[in-house]
Structure 1
Amino acid sequence: MTRLLTLVALVTALACSGAQAAPKIRVLYLDQSVGWLHAPVARPKNSNGPTLSEVAIAEIGGQSGAFSVEATQDAREITPEKLKTIDVLIFYTTGKLPISAANWQAIQRWVESGQGGFVGLHSATDTHWPYSGPGQTYTDFINGKFAGHPWTQGTPVTIQSLGGPNPVNKAWPGRFAYAEEIYQYSDYDPAKVRVLQALDFTETPLKRPWFVPVTWTRQIGKGRLFQTNLGHTPSTWDDPRYRAQLLDAIRWTAHRLPGAATPNPEEQALWALRSLLAYAGVPKAEVEARVARLAKTDRAWLLDAAARTAALRPLWPAKAEDDKTAFDAAYQAVLSDVLARSAR
């Protein structure tokens, strides 16, 4: 018994020693605005002090002990040499960033090799720069480009979890009411990403007849990418659930947490058709019954119908007085098809 207790104590000591010896994740946080300047990344007036989000990320790292962070508002600092000193790169950015083709190639290789992870926050999808070299453009890499935000700051929304249980999503309830600025996207490919959160239009007052993802993960080679739309509103940065999710996202992209990034386009497609039916005014109970029947339908039809709802977004009139003929025709066509396919 004495030997057994000694062995248990030794194994426990070694386990604790190994856990303590795990190095902190090294984070580089870029909050540069070449376009719209969001409040969480604005320097204090008449000061070069840290931004609200820089303080928040430093607090998350310090309180958790999981990572150290360095912040910059100059994308030119992200060089191949700099990448050797970090594990995770975070963007809260807008506009045409000053990233050279060589540096962007280096970032892509760094992620693909599994040496580094990428986290995008809110307007990371409202970011771009010209690139025609090897690999992907930044928009293809992050898998989406800002295409308006009908849900402006303070707009009530309902956010629904997708993708099943996931360590990167455990901080939030399965469905919850929130108030944020929510983007919709162009250049978004549902086959590339695993969506973890999306708008639920059965309970969101301002509806659209297409799928609006909020949070997703992506596997790129051996590397990992996480993107969340949340973070526009300063109060979001004080929300312990948001902070917990950022911590989990940093851990996950640094390969310190498990979690699948397998794309879930069929699940996204069902939520797209749920959005279409909710926009059409179908009662929630009937929406759920119809979607349950659509879940058993042909996969090719399902993905095509979802793609047709996504094609409605660029047809949406820019102004209330604009001609809606093209939108209405396309909308009625896909709605009629979905209603017929989901009938009893």
Structure 2
Amino acid sequence: MCALRIRPRHNAQKDGSGPRQLLFILMNSSALLRSLALFLSTCCMVLGLASAKPIEVIVYSKTSWYRHPEIARINGYLATLGAKHDINVSITESPDELSAGNLGNYDLILFNNSTNLGESLTVEQRKPIIEWFGKGGGIMVIHAGIVQNGTWPELIEIAGCDFHGDSEFVEARFLVDPKAEGDPVVAGKSKEFKYTADWLNFDKSVTGLPGVEVLLRLDEKSYLPIREHPSYTDMKPMGDDHPICWRRKLGNGRFFFTGLGHDIKSIDTEFGRAHLLAGIRWTAGKAK
């Protein structure tokens, strides 16, 4: 009887071709797995971008006190800026658009220089806004949108202060809060830098209030904080602590204020654009 024997290939072990073949297979398998992982990661990224929803903003600009001449231009500017950055901007001066049912369609309300809102909105019209904010809505205020002159106590409470005079359109020195360095809102600025705008003064500082983060202050030594005006005779500067941009979390709500926005030239700068976009994203709860 003849038996079939399979002998080991001693010569293959001696010349190392067996281990080399195994190593070759493993290396190619690893490369294949890396390529597959990269492909899947790219697919997930593309799908994520495709499914990401744009930020929805409703801008309200009705006024009941001083009306800034460039409100309409600023509304248009915000819409154009938003369209370039996946932000849908709706513009209104109708209180009906701020109803409970309609606010559910938006991530934030942006008050564009909307002075004395307590006179343009009734108590019943203000109520759903505050309730929506408490449930996770965002309120962003630019420049004179914070000027309420006591007409809307709930919004003043959220903001932390009210209007108390302003300056001429002048250059002043921004002071970046140390904790804010690197934050998108300060757009790469650090420590201090100069900027030109119309600067608001407030009846008190928001520093230290619960949930408040001050991002930018003004150095009052760099400009005259309160301009000459008959109604400003009893108003005083704020001194060493003059916040001009801050944000606040109250419960589930998010509030953001920037002093910029008196006119187009105060926001249509590299810093101004980045500053506004970062403020919108944070207020919408979608900060990058």
Output the TM-score relative to the length of structure 1: 0.65
Give the whole-Å Cα distance in 2 for the aligned partners of 1:189 and 1:121. Answer: 16
Give the whole-Å Cα distance in 1 for the aligned partners of 2:74 and 2:151. Answer: 27
2:207 corresponds in structure 1 to: 190
Q: Percent identity?
A: 23
Alignment CA distance shift 1:24-1:205 (3 Å): closer
Count of residues in Structure 1 that have an aligned counterpart in Structure 2: 240
2:140 corresponds in structure 1 to: 119
Instruction: Tell me the SS of whatever aligns to 1:53.
Output: helix
Larger Rg: 2
Gaps of 5+ in 2: 1-30, 226-236
Residue 244, structure 1, aligned to residue 274, structure 2: yes
Instruction: Tell me the SS of whatever aligns to 1:26.
Output: strand
The Cα of 1:76 is off from its aligned counterpart by 3.9
Instruction: Tell me the SS of whatever aligns to 2:174.
Output: strand
Alignment CA distance shift 1:156-1:4 (3 Å): closer
Picking from 146, 155, 176, the partner of 1:138 is: 155
The Cα of 1:156 is off from its aligned counterpart by 2.2
The Cα of 1:24 is off from its aligned counterpart by 0.5
Alignment CA distance shift 1:56-1:224 (3 Å): same
Which one has more relative contact order, counting CA pairs under 8 Å at least 6 apart?
Answer: 2
Picking from 15, 38, 41, the partner of 2:68 is: 38
Picking from 67, 71, 87, the partner of 2:107 is: 87
Give the whole-Å Cα distance in 1 for the aligned partners of 2:151 and 2:130. Answer: 15
Give the 5 Å matches for 1:85-234: 85-92=105-112, 93-95=114-116, 96-114=118-136, 116-127=137-148, 130=151, 137-149=154-166, 151-153=167-169, 155-162=170-177, 163-165=179-181, 166-192=183-209, 193-202=212-221, 204-206=222-224, 208=237, 209-234=239-264
- Please state which structure has a larger fraction of its residues in strand: 2
The Cα of 1:188 is off from its aligned counterpart by 4.3
- Return the letter of the residue paired with 1:98: S
2:53 corresponds in structure 1 to: 23
The Cα of 1:126 is off from its aligned counterpart by 0.7
| C-alpha contact (below 8 Å) 2:95/2:125 kept by paired residues | no
2:33 corresponds in structure 1 to: 3
Alignment CA distance shift 1:11-1:30 (3 Å): same
Give the whole-Å Cα distance in 2 for the aligned partners of 1:124 and 1:64. Answer: 23
Give the whole-Å Cα distance in 2 for the aligned partners of 1:73 and 1:22. Answer: 29
Let me know the Cα RMSD of the aligned residues.
2.1
The Cα of 1:233 is off from its aligned counterpart by 3.2
Give the whole-Å Cα distance in 1 for the aligned partners of 2:107 and 2:55. Answer: 6
Output the TM-score relative to the length of structure 2: 0.77
Give the 5 Å matches for 1:28-67: 28-41=58-71, 51-65=72-86, 67=87
